Amino acid sequence: EDKVVQSPLSLVVHEGDTVTLNCSYEVTNFRSLLWYKQEKKAPTFLFMLTSSGIEKKSGRLSSILDKKELFSILNITATQTGDSAIYLCAQGGPGAGSYQLTFGKGTKLSVIP
Amino acid sequence: GAGVSQSPSNKVTEKGKDVELRCDPISGHTALYWYRQRLGQGLEFLIYFQGNSAPDKSGLPSDRFSAERTGESVSTLTIQRTQQEDSAVYLCASSFYPDTQYFGPGTRLTVL
């Protein structure tokens, strides 16, 4: 059973639309929730959300963490074609001694002109 | 400074051959990770190095896979007797603080 589940698996929108990407995770040994953007091969870091930082914003991107319901969302407003990518969500854990990240399968976002 | 670098960027090999993939982490990053990403799939954790501690090898899929790291620098991932199911992009990441991992460009391995 997957521990980190992302939805939708793929999404096609027009430039200017606002999108919301979802990520649910397990509570066991939760330490952090991370979002990455993957355009070709290398994922690039977007946000990290922890108990002490449950909302982050950078330009048109923002993310919140709901620790009660065990999910996070990534919002992108006024989408551009350059936002087309796979967006990966990852849970940090388990345990303080292990820095393993467990990734979801990703959401493929396509922004068309 | 420079980001994480990996070499080669692409590798095509025949089934049964051994391959070595290299990763140069960001200078000063004490932690290094290897992941595998099959086509259309998420990232699959393989192995993690932290300083001089014993590596966490819990994600290695078989004993054909091994990895080494020299101090807090270069790491090599070796796959022996490659199989077609080993075809994937192999990603390396490094970090200084917990969890915020920075990824290299990856090596695309194709086993014919």
Each residue's pLDDT tens digit in chain B (112 positions)? 579 999 999 999 999 999 999 999 999 888 899 999 998 888 888 999 988 888 888 889 999 999 999 877 899 999 999 999 999 999 999 988 666 889 999 999 999 9
Q: Is the pLDDT of residue A96 over 60?
A: no
Cβ contact, residue pair B43, A43, below 8 Å: yes
Establish whether the linkage from the previous residue to A43 is cis, with ω within 30° of 0: no
Cβ contact, residue pair A101, B106, below 8 Å: no
Cβ contact, residue pair B31, A99, below 8 Å: yes
Confidence at residue B40, expressed as pLDDT on a 0 to 100 scale: 80
Confidence at residue B98, expressed as pLDDT on a 0 to 100 scale: 66
In the DSSP assignment, the letter for residue B27 is T
Residues 6+ apart with CB under 8 A from A67: A30, A51, A54
Q: Does A31 touch chain B (CB under 8 A)?
A: yes
- Residue from B45, B46, B80, B43 nearest B63 by CA: B80
- Residue from B109, B81, B88 nearest B16 by CA: B81
Confidence at residue A94, expressed as pLDDT on a 0 to 100 scale: 57
Cβ contact, residue pair A99, B48, below 8 Å: yes
Q: Is the pLDDT of residue A53 over 80?
A: no
For chain B, what is the largest distance between any 2 Cα atoms, rounded to a whole number of angstroms?
39
Nearest to B101 among A101, A104, A105 (CB): A101
Coil, helix or strand for A67?
A: coil
